[in-house]
Amino acid sequence: MRVMFLGDVVGRSGRRIVVERLPGLIVDLALDFVVVNGENAAGGFGITEEIARDLIDAGADAITLGNHAFDQREALVFIERQPKLLRPVNYPAGTPGRGAGLYMARNGARVLVVNVMGRIYMDPLDDPFAAMEREIAACPLGEQADAVIVDVHAEATSEKQAMGHLLDGRASLVVGTHTHVPTADHQILPHGTAFQSDVGMCGDYDGVIGMDKDEPLHRFTTKIGRARFEPANGEATLCGVVVDVDEVSGLATTIEPIRLGGRLAPAMPRF
């Protein structure tokens, strides 16, 4: 089976390329399952119910979030009625919504998706390593799940790589999000898990992590804020990875980057 993971959708420009290109990619690449990180979809900060629906209508089978999960306060409510929307699993007990879901892929496979947040240089949530042990134990690959996809929303490459190794052989794909820059270290880890430190964003790469560059530059040079952060409006690059998962073992056989449009060098999986 083939799955695709698309990185943090940033603002209108990021939404546009995902909505325009995702339906065709599902057909052209014969994708069985698609996950999209949507934590910056609403003007760079959080997600609304309408935007979540647009991403699902375009083909997202699950939407993950991150530190911006609840920037749009309505997400605290509608996440309860939207089973395809996941927030980091290691928020405190009692947080609205859920951090893991088991979904049916187009090929009939059962796909466990977990969204977990790192703690290095991030707000201190519960232990992401212990949380992942619990989730994987509750729904192990090869038993209740035919594929396991983990979105590690984290800043530090060390923490993401440690999570990849912890889950190596027990997940199909462990992929980082949050830095808004795709890394070029996609690989199959020694025990069969596909890994990439960060999948990058779906947004305009002529900016500062997808935001218009003026205010970030002003703050970095003067240390004083002048205006709100606004998403950059130029043409976005769609950034993701495409992974082939063995239908018997649930482990990965290939991982390839995908980058379409905008300023970054294009990449398209070779099949």
Binding site for a copy of itself (CB under 8 A): 70, 76, 91-95, 119-121, 123-127, 129-130, 155-159, 161-163, 165-166, 179-187, 189-190, 197-198, 200, 205-209, 213, 216-217, 220-225, 257, 259, 263-265, 267
Query: CA distances (Å), 70 to each of 45, 178, 207, 238, in order?
Result: 8, 15, 24, 23
Q: Is 218 annotated as a binding residue?
A: no
Joined tokens for residue 193: 């898990």
Nearest of 6, 14, 7, 5 to residue 211 by alpha carbon: 14
Query: d(Cα 119, Cα 190) in Å, to the nearest integer?
Result: 25
Query: d(Cα 237, Cα 9) in Å, to the nearest integer?
Result: 10
Query: Residues 106-145: x/- map of binding to Fe ion (CB under 5 A)?
Result: ----------------------------------------
- 80 sits in the region (left: phi over 0; alpha: psi -120 to 50; else beta) called alpha
Nearest of 51, 112, 40, 110 to residue 79 by alpha carbon: 51
Q: Is 90 annotated as a binding residue?
A: no
Question: Cβ closer to Fe ion: 144 or 158?
Answer: 158
- Helix, strand, or coil (residue 142): coil
Question: Cβ closer to a copy of itself: 27 or 221?
Answer: 221
- Helix, strand, or coil (residue 63): strand
Q: Which does 103 bind (CB under 5 to 8 A by kind): Fe ion, a copy of itself, none?
A: none
Contact between 67 and Fe ion per CB under 5 A: yes
Q: Which does 257 bind (CB under 5 to 8 A by kind): Fe ion, a copy of itself, none?
A: a copy of itself
Q: How far is the CB of 68 from Fe ion (least distance, A)?
A: 6
Q: Is 180 annotated as a binding residue?
A: yes
Q: What is the layout of strands, in order, in the sheet containing 100-104?
A: 100-104, 110-117, 147-153, 173-177, 194-196, 187-188
Q: How far is the CB of 104 from a copy of itself (least distance, A)?
A: 30
Q: How far is the CB of 211 from Fe ion (least distance, A)?
A: 10
Query: d(Cα 113, Cα 199) in Å, to the nearest integer?
Result: 16
- Are 149 and 113 in contact by the 8 Å Cβ rule? The answer is yes
Q: How far is the CB of 100 from a copy of itself (least distance, A)?
A: 18
Q: Which does 40 bind (CB under 5 to 8 A by kind): Fe ion, a copy of itself, none?
A: Fe ion
Q: Which stretch binds Fe ion (CB under 5 A): 8-16, 78-86, 97-105, 133-141?
A: 8-16
Q: Is 153 annotated as a binding residue?
A: yes
Residues that bind Fe ion (CB under 5 A): 8, 39-40, 66-67, 178
* Binding-site positions for Fe cation: 8, 39-40, 67, 153, 178, 180
